[in-house]
């Protein structure tokens, strides 16, 4: 229902507190209906009682209470106090004999049904149902008790009824007030429950959308890393082999053919990887991570990478320690890509003649180290922490760092202790 305009630190909301334009219209319709029922009920009761001037007393009495019900949408507490005072004034003046409590039933209901949502210093609602305090209900109860006490004293000392007659006259009205307040409380709780349920659905939808965006971003970065590694390595090796073939074509045809054969093999491997990437992009129904982007790319392929570097004219050695059988596929792929990117950078940037690959397979982690003897200027496509990658637009070091970070490992790239460039990574192995 409509949201009451509550100033900072001000009144609690009416029955329609909270909601949008549709709820505001619904609250207005409810108040109009309540005002109409109040007016008709008061006029009818006065007519049935047959006492007092109907047109002068009952009609003005009924219209006044109805107007206060309409005003309760904006000022619920003030409207309740004014309704109680109106009832007391008409009863005290002898212009009405039809009840002390029930003529103000609608005003009592609207105040008790207000959620009284706790607000912060900026006047904004504070969160879930558990933080809402039904401040309108205690106010309505207090006003009702005071009205019953006043009515009892009036009936006892002004109207001349004895104690038993006064209790009999007001007992039914006190029970009616309790029923009205109980109904208002039940209605308020049901409305707040529905409101919280709708808010929970909205939060769940926002969380699902945020998770979908996060997963899409992670998959996009994963595909970008794979694409970079495949294309960079392939173009580097193929370019070196084509250069060798061109230089040896006239004098050493056999060496030229071997270089072209190597380039063709590397190209075929890259085509397979790119097809896997395209398959992931073409199938949006696949869960991220469900399709392996680089099938068959693991620790067994490290030797092929080293052979490709040797064919490019760079001396390369591999040193392994431990058993690679227990290394899970995601870690194996990360090791493969780190070695691939590091060897590619050694060929393209180091200007050296030798590169060493060291792999240590432990029960808790895999340790990777790739060191070359180049000048170190621009090595690793970025130098220390990838600074050169930013300057030159490369993403190799950033991609390796992301791979290791996703798996909870540690990564470092920079000048070696004895010159050249060194890439180190420690990737934990789940137990």
For residue 411, pLDDT beyond 50:
yes
| CATH number for the segment(s) 297-431 | 3.30.565.10
Return the higher-pLDDT residue of 243 and 117: 243
Contact 314, 286 (CB under 8 A): no
What residue spans of 50-115 are helical by DSSP H? 60-71, 76-92, 105-113
Look at residue 413 and give its three-state secondary structure. strand
Beginning with the edge strand found earlier in the chain, give each strand of the sheet holding 315-321 in spatial order: 315-321, 354-361, 365-372, 421-428, 410-415
The residues, any chain, with a CB within 8 Å of residue 371's CB and separated by 6 or more, are: 355, 356, 358, 416, 420, 421, 422, 423
For the residues 251-258, what does the mean pLDDT come to? 77
pLDDT in tens, 106-132: 888 888 887 544 343 344 444 443 344
pLDDT in tens, 150-172: 888 877 777 777 767 777 777 88
Confidence at residue 379, expressed as pLDDT on a 0 to 100 scale: 43
Q: 414: which 2 tokens?
A: 């920079």
* DSSP string for residues in 176-242: HHHHHHHHHHHHHHHHHHHHHHHHHHHHHHHHHHHHHHHHHHHHHHHHHHHHHHHHHHHHHHHHHHH
pLDDT grade, residue 66 (50/70/90)? confident
pLDDT in tens, 329-384: 888 888 888 888 888 888 877 777 888 899 998 888 999 999 888 775 444 444 44
Whole-angstrom distance, CA of residue 324 vs CA of residue 230: 23
pLDDT in tens, 164-198: 777 777 788 888 888 988 888 888 888 888 888 88
Q: Which of 77, 101, 68, 82 is nearest to 17 (CA)?
A: 77
User: Any bridge partners for residue 317, and if so which?
Assistant: 356
Q: 248: which 2 tokens?
A: 């040896």
Confidence at residue 55, expressed as pLDDT on a 0 to 100 scale: 54
Confidence at residue 426, expressed as pLDDT on a 0 to 100 scale: 93
Terminal Cα distance for the chain, rounded: 56
Cα distances (Å, whole numbers) of residue 396 to 45, 222, 240, 366: 88, 13, 19, 20
pLDDT grade, residue 391 (50/70/90)? very low
Q: Which long-range contacts (CB under 8 A, 24 or more apart) does 60-66 make?
A: 61/86, 61/90, 61/95, 61/96, 61/103, 62/38, 63/39, 65/38, 65/39, 65/103, 65/104, 65/106, 65/107, 66/35, 66/36, 66/38, 66/39
Whole-angstrom distance, CA of residue 375 vs CA of residue 377: 6
Confidence at residue 387, expressed as pLDDT on a 0 to 100 scale: 40
- Kindly tell me the burial class for residue 276, based on how many C-beta atoms sit within 10 Å of its own C-beta (0-12, 13-18, 19 or more): buried
Domain boundaries, the chain: 21-210, 297-431
What pTM, to 2 d.p., does this model score? 0.46
Q: How many residues does the chain have?
A: 431
Whole-angstrom distance, CA of residue 359 vs CA of residue 299: 10
């Amino acid at each position: 229902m409509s949201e009451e305009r509550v100033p900072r630190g001000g009144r609690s909301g009416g029955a329609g507190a909270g909601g949008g334009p549709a709820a505001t219209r619904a609250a207005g319709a409810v108040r109009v209906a309540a005002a109409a029922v109040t007016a008709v009920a008061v006029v009818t009761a006065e007519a049935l009682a047959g006492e007092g001037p109907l047109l002068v007393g009952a009609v003005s009495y009924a219209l006044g209470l109805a107007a206060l019900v309409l005003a309760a949408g904006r000022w619920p507490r003030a409207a309740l106090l004014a309704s109680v005072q109106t009832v007391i004034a008409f009863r005290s003046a002898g212009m009405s004999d039809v009840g002390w409590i029930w003529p103000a039933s609608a005003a009592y209901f609207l105040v008790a049904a207000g959620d009284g949502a706790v607000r912060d210093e900026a006047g904004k609602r504070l969160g879930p149902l558990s933080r809402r305090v039904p401040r309108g209900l205690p106010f309505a109860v207090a006003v009702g008790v005071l009205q019953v006490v006043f009515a009892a004293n009036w009936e006892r000392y002004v109207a001349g009824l004895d104690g038993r007659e006064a209790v009999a006259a007001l007992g039914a009205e006190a029970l009616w007030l309790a029923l009205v307040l109980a109904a208002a409380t039940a209605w308020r709780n049901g409305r707040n429950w529905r409101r919280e349920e709708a808010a929970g659905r909205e939060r769940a939808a926002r969380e699902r959308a945020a998770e979908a965006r996060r997963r899409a971003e992670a998959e996009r970065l994963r595909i970008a890393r794979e694409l970079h590694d495949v294309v960079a390595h392939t173009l580097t090796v193929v370019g070196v082999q084509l250069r060798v073939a061109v230089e040896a074509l006239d004098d050493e045809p056999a060496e030229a053919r071997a270089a072209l054969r190597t380039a063709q093999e590397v190209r075929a491997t890259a085509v397979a990887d790119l097809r896997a990437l395209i398959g992931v992009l073409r199938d949006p129904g696949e869960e991220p991570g469900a399709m392996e982007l680089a099938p068959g790319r693991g620790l067994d392929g490290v030797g092929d990478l080293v052979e490709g570097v040797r064919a490019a004219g760079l001396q390369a050695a591999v040193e392994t320690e431990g058993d690679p059988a227990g290394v899970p596929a995601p870690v194996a792929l990360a090791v493969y890509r780190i070695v691939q990117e590091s060897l590619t950078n050694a060929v393209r940037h180091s200007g050296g003649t030798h590169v060493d690959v060291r792999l240590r397979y432990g029960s808790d982690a895999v340790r990777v180290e790739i060191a070359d003897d180049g000048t170190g200027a621009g090595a690793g496509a970025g130098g220390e922490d990838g600074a050169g990658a930013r300057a030159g637009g490369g993403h190799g070091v950033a991609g390796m760092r992301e791979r290791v970070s996703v798996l909870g490992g540690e990564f470092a790239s920079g000048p070696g202790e004895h010159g050249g460039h060194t890439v180190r990574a420690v990737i934990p192995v789940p137990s």
